[in-house]
Amino acid sequence: MKAYLLLADGTLFEGKSLGAQGTTIGEVVFSTGMVGFEETLTDPSYYGQIITQTYPLIGNYGMNSEDKESKKIWAKGYIVRESCQYPSNFRCEETLDAFLKKENIVGIEGVDTRRLTRILRSHGVMNGAVTTEYSEENREALLEQIRAYSIVDAVKAVTCTESSVSGEGNKYKVALLDFGCKNNIVRCLVKRDCEVTVLPGFATAEQISALGVDGVMLSNGPGDPAENTEIIENLKSIMALGLPVFGICLGHQLSALAAGAKTGKLKFGHRGANQPVTDLLHDRTLITSQNHGYAVLGETLPAEMGAVSHVNANDKTCEGVRYTAWNCFTVQFHPEASGGPKDAEYLFDEFISRMAAKKGEC
């Protein structure tokens, strides 16, 4: 069956239906990862977005139930050049097409993703629709819906509603605020002897203090960080507890806003597994996994609060902050990336060291 991608500027791509049939509208973005497509699809940070994979063949090792980063696909749609129909891997349980159908996600293949990516790089991310129901008669009505679309209340949509515990009985107790948490953040903490209590993203300092934890983890998540005014106010009180705090992605952005800095939307964002980041403290460059459309404006961070610790080697945007006013450090990238690379996992070890020091162990 034919499928179409219609962008907000009127550009139309024709392809073949992938996954479910119907129409979906979202913000069209691109990701440069060669692998990790299942982790990408199930990353809550993609809430409200239609993902374009720049790598031309997707699904060649299939899908399996172990590699999901959350309980479902949060993306609005999926765009690939070619979807593999006959995957080959001993862990494969189903094809990409079958997985998308099961999750009721509308996708398209056969699209010139190179051309699409160049459009998004030139003009910036834009809204679009993937549809199997396109016609010239409904084009203008669909364009109106596309142009009116916006991502709002993203954290409210993806955060958990009840707390849960992993690694019960382990040495260090960590409260993890779920702004759209990926499963591998929990795994990385548990394997470092942490008992992790995952809390809704709107948890307060009082609720965290009552748990008697040794540290606080702030997760990744979707949307415009500045709209989360309640969480930003909560973080000011959470930081005042004096506990070690480690923030990733949205957690990094929200912490900076709580410190008095500003954030801004990037033209086309950083999404993929090959973003170079320079660690200014250790004078080395890491290859990192990233997924964000907003960035902390490093020059707006008050000097008395802390300093930029990492910068993107390509565009020099802020990729990390080390706070002096708080026992906190944050990064924009994903040290927990289960699809790779693993260059930045040492940051979890620093978090453990901070908790150990707080407990008087070193």
Question: What token pair was written down for 124?
Answer: 């910036």
CB 247 within 8 Å of CB 328: yes
- Strand 194-200 to 172-178 pairing: parallel
Which candidate, 199, 152, 151, places its Cα nearest to that of 173? 199
Instruction: Determine whether 292 is an active site residue.
Output: no
**Given the structure tokens 């993937």, which residue do they identify?**
130
The single-letter code of the amino acid at 22 is G
Instruction: Determine whether 160 is an active site residue.
Output: no
CB 55 within 8 Å of CB 40: no
CB 163 within 8 Å of CB 42: no
Could you say which of 188, 194, 249, 328 is catalytic?
A: 249
End-to-end CA distance of the chain: 63
Distance in angstroms (rounded) separating the CA atoms of residues 46 and 38:
12
Distance in angstroms (rounded) separating the CA atoms of residues 332 and 320:
6
Instruction: Determine whether 334 is an active site residue.
Output: yes
Catalytic residue annotation: 249, 334, 336
